[in-house]
Amino acid sequence: MATPTELIQKQHEEALSLLSIDSSNYCPCAERHNHGEIPLTAKRSPSADRPSWSSRGQIDVTPIQEIVREGYNVNYHKDKTDSSTTNLWHPVTAAQHNVSVCRPSHDQWGIGKIVLIFCDDFLQQCYHFPYWHMRADIRAAVQPILDVLQLQVSQCVRLLLASLPPQTTIPLHQDSGEWVHQTHRVHVPILVPSPEDILFRSGPDDATLQRIDCREGHVFEINNAQRHAVTNGSSVHYRVHLILDYTDQPFRLPPVVLTPAEVLYQTRRSLNRVCDQGSRPTPSFMILGAQKAGTTSLYQYLTQHDLVIPAKRRETHCLDWRWNEKLKTVEQQRQWCQKFYHTEELYKHAACLTGDSTPSYLLDSRRVIPRIQAVFPWPLRFFVMVREPVARAESQYAMVTSLVGTEAQLKTRGVEWRNKSFWQVVQEDLQHMHECGLLPHWNVEEGIFDANVWKEFSGSAAEDQAWSLYLERHVPLNTGSYGLLTRGLYELQLRSWLKTFPVEQFLVLVLERDLADTDSLHDTMERAWAHLGIPGITSLDTTAQNTREYKSFLEEENEEKKEEDGESGGTRIAKKEYLQRFFRPYNERLEQLMEEHAWGSHRWNYEF
């Protein structure tokens, strides 16, 4: 979050007071101490008893000064000056002979820059800029810094020079981004005509900041996960620092060597080359279902990642409810569906991806699968959330029969169940399944399971045919009031999907196991982001989404029954046990499927 202008001005005035030797607030430079390299563990777990900076050495920076002195003291964001091939600071020169990079806050403050090496915030790629790989004199001038730090070039992921204008303050902050905890931050003052006018402070908190000596050639490392700020109190002189970020080990991939005048598209956390635009099609993933099994929470967790861009609406329904039958060609249908995402913007940013969560897709495979094959014929990543099916059914019934919500929400839920009890809807779905031939093993009246019939029927062509008939007859559009029980037959729903797409495209998660608590959630999201092929993040808001409190409808109907005829409390137990007995063989098939495909075993324990 950007620091308000008023606060920056206040901090600037306080810094000038700390710089004034005649002031009672004067802040002298702390004594230099070489604590060696600051371990990265100090960034992951900051502590007041660990040094926030370390003096790593002193070098002669004359060679660098000779290269970068020309034009360093000009604010190119305000002053229009002629470019020169020898003035590496000039934006026009950089655009022609190097590659332009935007650093929004620094640009706003008028800070000049010469970028030599840079990486995205997730350390997916490291880019070597033309000024670096085409200028032997620059590499030779920087080498003494690498030598004093005992570094190889392959460890450097960011290397640039920054020119801070007079009377400018970079406010107190700590750096953010996944790169921070994986890299060391080093500063080297290069051109500092009046070091007494520079207030560079670092510390674990605002009350314990120390001023660091910024005389030319001082090589020092800071813990940039802690608080730090810098003020150039001079009224005349700019201040130039070389800034270096490096990793403990050589970067895992060869650097991307950029060509002069190449264009990069940027987001806050990513860098994207023009030559890569369009290489990642839209969308990249879909959460298929199941409804009321945690899909909203999963989508919210996924889209907290800076590389995952939310769709224009979470449930696009572009492949079922909003499918446009009037469009006759595949390309027209694809363009229609892609209107539900930020497709044009994402075209330039191949590092970013997007997707949606439409939980009706899992059950409506008859319509959705062929449409995906037609309009999105690339290897999408699919997520499927499952939940104990009785609890899932009660949650769905609570949602679609609730009268609380916007007009659009009420319309989407449908009215088909509003005047029916939970158990009436259960019986209705059982009857639909029975009529389609899906339940030869189940006595609907008595709730008796025939294991022998199930053994012959389970996984057979007859079951597939009966399932297809059910989908054709009883999966309508534009309402959420259907499939109370069949949405909980997870293996049966997955069967069509796994016959069509490679299993590697799927990740199946269990609400009670994978989103149960903070620890399991963080582990789950690491798996989820790996499934998308992107690095994980450490900061995550774990608040569950789209939850509602409701009394068990089985219990509620039991209370009504007891009031009517004084019946004992066994009614609810009998109904719940009925549903558990019904779902148990289907759950066992899901368990086997999940173990087979390394999604982790899980069993919902039914006691009867």
Domain positions in the chain: 4-276, 285-597
| Pairing, β 218-222 against β 285-289 | unpaired
Max CA distance (Å), the chain: 97
Among 21-35, 232-246, 437-451, 569-583, name the one with the lowest average pLDDT.
569-583
Where residue 41 falls (left for φ over 0; alpha for ψ -120 to 50; beta otherwise) is alpha
* 387 annotated ligand binder: yes
Q: Which residues contact 71 (CB under 8 A, 6 or more apart)?
A: 81, 84, 87, 88, 89, 90
At residue 568, the pLDDT reads: 36
- Classified by CATH at the fold level, domain 285-597 comes out as Rossmann fold (3.40.50)
Region 123-149: mean pLDDT is 97
**What percent of the chain shows pLDDT beyond 90?**
83
pLDDT at residue 455 is higher than 50: yes
CA distance 42 to 51: 9
Averaged pLDDT, 3-20: 94
220: left (phi over 0), alpha (psi -120 to 50) or beta: beta
For residue 565, the model assigns a pLDDT of 45
Q: Which tens digit of pLDDT belongs to each residue from 461-511?
A: 999 999 999 999 999 999 999 999 999 999 999 999 999 999 999 999 999
Rounded CA separation 356/359 (Å): 9
pLDDT digits (tens, 9 = 90+) for 269-327: 899 999 999 999 999 999 999 999 999 999 999 999 999 999 999 999 999 999 999 99
**Strand pairing report for 112-119 and 126-128:** antiparallel
pLDDT higher than threshold 50 for residue 563: no
292 annotated active-site: yes
3-state secondary structure 97-164: HCCCCCCHHHHHCCCEEEEEEEECCCCCCEEECHHHHCCHHHHHHHHHHHHHHCCCHHHEEEEEEEEE
For residue 219, the SS3 value is strand
Is residue 487 a known part of a binding site?
no
Catalytic residue (one of 113, 292, 348, 575): 292
Q: Taking a C-beta distance cutoff of 8 angstroms, is the pair 390, 572 a contact?
A: no
- Which pLDDT score is estimated for 560? 53
What's the pLDDT at 566? 41
Mean pLDDT of 573-597: 94
Instruction: Report which DSSP code applies to 562.
Output: H
In this prediction, residue 43 has a pLDDT band, given cuts at 50, 70 and 90, of confident
pLDDT single digits (tens) 377-409:
999 999 999 999 999 999 999 999 999 999 999
What CATH homologous superfamily does 4-276 map to?
Jelly Rolls (2.60.120.10)
CA distance 242 to 186: 8
Instruction: Look at residue 516 in the predicted model and tell me its pLDDT.
Output: 86
Q: What is the 3-state secondary structure (H, E, C) of 497-523?
A: HHHHCCHHHEEEEEHHHHCCCHHHHHH
Chain center to CA of 469: 39
Q: Are strands 210-212 and 126-128 parallel, antiparallel or unpaired?
A: unpaired
Strands laid side by side in the 353-357 sheet = 308-310, 353-357, 285-289, 381-386, 506-510
**416: pLDDT strictly greater than 70:** yes
Task: Calculate mean pLDDT across residues 408-432.
Answer: 95
The mean per-residue pLDDT over the stretch 565-586 comes to: 75
Q: 444 CB contacts (<8 Å, ≥6 apart)?
A: 427, 430, 431, 434
Residue 186: alpha-carbon gap to chain centroid:
28
Q: Global pTM?
A: 0.88
Same fold, 4-276 and 285-597: no
| Buried-state track 339-366, b at ≥16 Cβ within 10 A, e below 16 | ebbbbeebbbbbbbbbbbbbbbbbbbbe
Q: Does the structure show a pLDDT above 50 at 17?
A: yes
